[in-house]
Structure 1
């Protein structure tokens, strides 16, 4: 049912379930609605996010996302095999290439700066599309200084290590389990995923990211 360009589906904020600060954890839980916009309008999925910040020594910032998507009706949602769809990261407008046809957002700078992608297999934006990966990175320059955003995918995730769709030109990647085949989400079989975001003011460090992935998965 989902096609952003066609306006056939959307995701809406439903409610804040709670915020918390205890035992070194700060975070919140919210509920989202995945809605089919065709006539009649139908709520297809309910999604719960639990986001928790990660303690840091100051050299990085980060947070964990735990998502649970459950069918909102008794009819299962059948996910077809497709080349993208899942937990995604989209970089800033300035990381678009000069040849991308996206119209500048009003009030945003038209400055363009270089960016690149990398995964734990050594795959790049040119070579790593749909490679199964423990982590993927989008990095580039902001006002001439390096910035890196990494997303780590937990070993217990559905079809882990999940394939990562890397867009060939735009600063966008997405962990995409539907690349390897169809699956369904119903009231008894939710889609559950755990992902960790790590942000640094530096170039990507694969050895450090490997270490972070191992530590996280040993917790």
Structure 2
């Protein structure tokens, strides 16, 4: 048996554990590093919410000619995917399988906000149009007075009023007006489908980017 003297410098000495990996009795503790991981995830979620919100606000100001049915929401979802993937690379130590799912849900929430903000812009534009067309406003006021005693005129008044004070469903119907008149609730169904497609596009974008990174890493080995 080989014996080492306490003063023998050639004897192997165990390296001390760093404080972050030292648990009770010097045993490595997994829980010591857990708060850091949770903090990173929380920061990513917060950053993702802000990013999705900013993208939805920005996209809502896009000209109407750019807001093609379905295509616009697909582009929005892909853009969210790239941004959230970049954010994950900056904040997360590893990308779990949960990341594309959560990103898709956040993107869908942003798509809902995008639709609502687009409606608000549409509503403001109609209000400005009403201010510029004072003659139509006078006709509308005449219809309002006549509608108090005539049910038929009341229905006509409600229809004309919605031209200048549209509801959300009026905005959705306007979006598909180039394809003909769609009865309710089909414009709403189409819009909810677009919201879902945006979330799926975001999720697939993250998966594809992750798959590309793995392929590149395997080729470089």
- Structure with bigger strand share is 1
Greater Rg over alpha carbons, structure = 2
The bucket for the TM-score relative to the shorter chain is under 0.3
Normalising by structure 1, report the TM-score: 0.25
Normalising by structure 2, report the TM-score: 0.25
- Structure with bigger helix share is 2
Q: Using CA pairs below 8 Å that are at least 6 residues apart, which structure has the higher relative contact order? A: 2
